[in-house]
Structure 1
Amino acid sequence: MFHNLDIELNGGVTALLGPNGSGKTTLLRTLATVQPPRGGRLLIEGQEVRSESIARALRRRISYLPQRFGFEPGMRVRDFVRYGAWLRDLPPGDWADATAAALQHVGLTDESGVRMGRLSGGMRQRAAIAWAIVGRPGLVLLDEPTVGLDTQQRLRFRDTVANMPASTVLLSTHLIDDVDAICERVVVMHTGGIRFTGTTDELRALDDASMPGHTPLERAYMSLLPVQERRR
């Protein structure tokens, strides 16, 4: 459950950091209107989410990619992405162009006819990103999208997200080097509350040489966690 949580997202790529159980996934699901807030106010693009009808309308402008996303192995890549266009309620006449644009952005144009079950892990993740950005939603929520990817795949992912055609991206991750590479802002959560919100440079300025970590950003992040979390 959240307490004293106040967060505002205004464009660019923001990292969502925090140990397991800190509330990151719950926050993403709330922002995606998958589950309603238990208190306070949730505003998306200036509109308060006060009812299911409002939430349903706003979902057309929101894309939420959970850590374990579902797909039909026999579905072709282009159909998987087109399904995202349908979910976002794009006009049917726009599906083909929107799908082609999304696949081009993630570098999967040549694999558009390949079945999802035959893709490598990295390509499958890129297909998921194409699904997430088709139709250019205003808010893209990504939950641990680089889990299981090798170094080369993660580098490709960084390029994809850094150039993502969306106004606001919230990226939940445990990987500080990904944050350092592609995120302008950082939100650090712990036990349902916000420990820090600011730019990556502002977080880096909290570097404490006595903290565990190999980079200023890692040590700054660790300095925000309770002692018991640093020892895990």
Structure 2
Amino acid sequence: MITAKQLGQGYGRHIVFRSLDLELQPGVTALLGPNGAGKTTLLRTLATVQPPREGRLTIDGREVKSEAEARAARRQIGFLPQRFGYEPGMRVRDFVRYGAWLRGIPPRDWSSASATALDHVGLANEARKKMGSLSGGMRQRAAIAWAVVGKPRFVVLDEPTVGLDPQQRFRFRDIIAGLTDTTILLSTHLIDDVDAVCDRIVVMHEGKIRFAGLTDELKALDDPSAPGHTPLERAYVSLLPEEGRNR
């Protein structure tokens, strides 16, 4: 379980969010919100990439108060940013092994952990290919394997389906559904993906949480007068002030 209490974050004099409370449990939680809502900053903070300015962050019952505690927590965190780096000449299996090394997995387990992760995303037969030779969809699946290698207990994904075609997105949904006993936080703008795979939803706007609860609970807030084609879309949009709906 991940718990944030009175969490605050910002850059220089700019405050992104403050006094934010959030609790994440095993399963898939969607993080929704317009551009500029503070989603990416929140993901980076929860993944311990960026220490909070204020408040408490607790992961599996242990408060993260120092860089040493953050490094220890990262062994159980798989974080995939929206723009991830890779060496085009690196083989897929080595790219995933690099993720295992970063997470502190013992060297003796790199090969087996990487093979398991690649098999999970359907890239076992592409392990010897170079990252630069992969299609966009395959490269994104390799990145997901990088994030889940070693079976971390907490997986953070920032816009993982951007640029994927419908078939690739369907495969992504299957991959996420197969990550059992894992706490997954998924930031996306694609409401149909949320409806398909997410148990819970957090809606964020201007650094504040407008909703946190079960997907069905948000659907129950359906406002027929709001823009959108489904109950979930309309309920989500109805939570945003007018100026936030067009971002």
* Aligned pair partner of 1:52 in 37, 43, 67: 67
* Aligned pair partner of 1:42 in 17, 36, 57: 57
| Structure 1 residue 29: Cα displacement | 0.4
Q: Does 1:170 align with 2:175?
A: no
| Structure 1 residue 166: Cα displacement | 5.3
Answer 1 or 2: higher relative contact order, Cα 8 Å, separation at least 6: 1
**1:225 alignment counterpart:** 240
TM-score normalised over the length of structure 2: 0.92
**2:80 alignment counterpart:** 65
Q: What does residue range 105-120 of structure 1 map to in structure 2 within 5 Å?
A: 105-120=120-135
* Aligned pair partner of 1:16 in 27, 31, 42: 31
CA distance in 2, matches of 1:96, 1:56: 22
TM-score normalised over the length of structure 1: 0.98
Q: Does 1:214 align with 2:229?
A: yes
| Structure 1 residue 63: Cα displacement | 1.1
**2:196 alignment counterpart:** 181
Q: Does 1:139 align with 2:154?
A: yes
Runs of 5+ consecutive residues of structure 2 not aligned to the other structure: 1-15
* 1:95-115 deviation line (CA, Å, top 9, x unaligned): 111011001100000000000
Q: What does residue range 146-161 of structure 1 map to in structure 2 within 5 Å?
A: 146-161=161-176
- Is contact 1:41-1:49 (8 Å) kept? yes
Runs of 5+ consecutive residues of structure 1 not aligned to the other structure: none
CA distance in 1, matches of 2:164, 2:71: 33
Corresponding pairs, count: 232
Q: Could you say what secondary structure the match of 1:159 adopts?
A: helix
- Is contact 2:27-2:180 (8 Å) kept? no
> Percent of pairs identical after alignment?
72
- Moved runs in structure 1, 4+ residues, more than 6 A? none
| Structure 1 residue 39: Cα displacement | 1.1
Q: Could you say what secondary structure the match of 1:8 adopts?
A: strand
The CA RMSD measured in Å over matched residues stands at 0.9
Q: Does 1:196 align with 2:211?
A: yes
